Each structure stands twice: as structure tokens, then as C-alpha cells.
Structure 1
């Protein structure tokens, strides 16, 4: 951390993001991958339901009810990923240490590259659909652009969750500290 004074907000966020009570949810790489997969799945489901709600004519409000139910597990998955990364993307820059700042830069660069590829694929898909039909499918352009925006917003979180490292085991911490204290 830098010498910048932490605000009350910074201290509370730092405490929250380093709370180890949820460690069991993301202690191993497979659990973190599962949390990211669940988050991606729930995001796709919420987006699909929202698209259905707006494009469906005369549809009842059942998609809204299902979205409300899916929002809670989506928020839990978001919290699990944020806990696994110790708030890498949620904490302000001056709260992060040097290693975390570098990691944040790496995560954002990877996410940017992945989102660029996704946007290129979306553009090619719309253009190909327009060429085969003779006219671009205008009804799907807005949902596709909104989906691309959501992915652009969430991709850093997913990348950070997939690249988070395991917490050191208690024995590993003691072994690395013992030679330093003996010297």
C-alpha cells in the first residue's frame, strides 16, 4: 500500500475483501472455476430472460420473477469471486500493494483482449446474418450490443477469478517465515 491515508470506506472495503470466513467457497482452483462458471451461467440466464421479456410480445411477467430469484445466487457468486481475488477489482488503486496493482493491470489487459475478440465475433455474426438475409436482424442488434456491454463489464471479474492463486497452506507459511526469522 502507498502512504496515502485510507478513508473509512477504504478500510471497510479492505476488511470486507480480506474476510476469510468464506474461504471454503474459493480455497481451491476448481472451486474458483466453479464460481466463475456459475457466475457466467447465471449472467447468461439473466440476459436471456431479459431479452425474452423485452422481445416477447404480450408475455406475462414470469421472466421478471425468475430474474429476481436468480439475482441472489448471482450476487453470491460475485461475492465469492471478489473474495477469491481479495477485492483486486473492487478496491481503490491506492489501497492495493505493488503485486496487486501489477496483477490488476494483467487482469484488465487479458479481459480487454478477450472482450475485443468477443466484440469482433459479434460484429461478424451480425454481418453474416445480414448478408444471408439481405438485411441485418435489427431486432437482435440491441440485445447483442447490451450483452457485449455486460460481458465487457464482467470479463475482468471472470478473468481475475480464473487466475486467482491458492492461499498458502499453514505449513508453507511457517516454512517460509522460519528461515527469515532464524537469520
Structure 2
């Protein structure tokens, strides 16, 4: 069993819009930032964030997965920013998804029965605006950490600390109970 981490790119790894000066000053990363074209995408990233994601992605029993509109482009282009992600799986939408449905939720629902899972981390700047997705997470019966960063700053050092604690904590510290509050933590702004 593993902790599965599903991560978006825009608004999480790369703040959006990428040329906003607010990202560098408000995200909390104090090291170097780069603003550049990555394949067909404009990106801004903190080198410290990329380094922290690399550390997390090699922890035992942790599997990172892309859940982003970049789809396979994420693992094709993001190694150029230093992210060791060329072997991360990615989920895709399908043509049959209903227009009113959030394709990321449907993709994760389709994948979930096939993915070994004892904990789940979902990182997406749109997650806090997706009540159906948040409701579905309550039904999984495993500890869940949902992080919805402000898209202008993306993931912050505080988010990464929360993720590290969640994925490296002993299973006994993460009770499987019916109390939603004990196994589900929502991190991020409730409103924008």
C-alpha cells in the first residue's frame, strides 16, 4: 500500500498567472525563482519548491501522480525545471466525461480502484471550489489530505510541511474512523 499524491501544475507548482510579482513575494519561498517558457507553457517556479517535491517523491511508499491539464506534457517538460518526474504516472480525462463534471474528479474516480492506496493527497488550486470532489473524498475510508493553494502563490513552505507530516506519519497517528475531521484535512483558502 502507498500514499498516492495527485498534483496539478498550474496554480500549484507554477503559480498562475506566471508573470505575477505577487507569487515571489507571497509564496514564502526565499530562494531563487525562474520565470521561463517550459515547452509550450509559461511557467514560474521556486527552486526550493522543486527541491522539496523531489525529496517527497522519493520517500518510501509515496507515489506522485500528475492530475493536470498538462497530462503527459508534465512529465515530458517539467524535468527541465529540475523536477524528477519523468516516471510519474498521469491521469487524463476522456471524451465521454459530461461537460458539467470536473474531469479531474472523474479521472481520479476511474483510477482509484486500480491504485494501491492507504492514504491520499490531492493538490489542486481548484479543489476548494469543487464540492462534489470534496464530498467524494469523504467516502474513501482512508486518510485524505486535500490542499488547494491560492493559484497566485502556488504551494507554500507551510503546505509542504503539512504534506511531509501527513505522508511520513505512522499509520497509527492517522486513525481510520468515521469522524471526517480526523481523517480529512483541507488546506487552503476557502474563498478567493
TM class by shorter-chain length? under 0.3
> When you count strand as a share of all residues, which structure comes out higher?
2
> When you count helix as a share of all residues, which structure comes out higher?
1
TM-score (norm 1): 0.24
TM-score (norm 2): 0.23
Higher radius of gyration, 1 or 2: 1
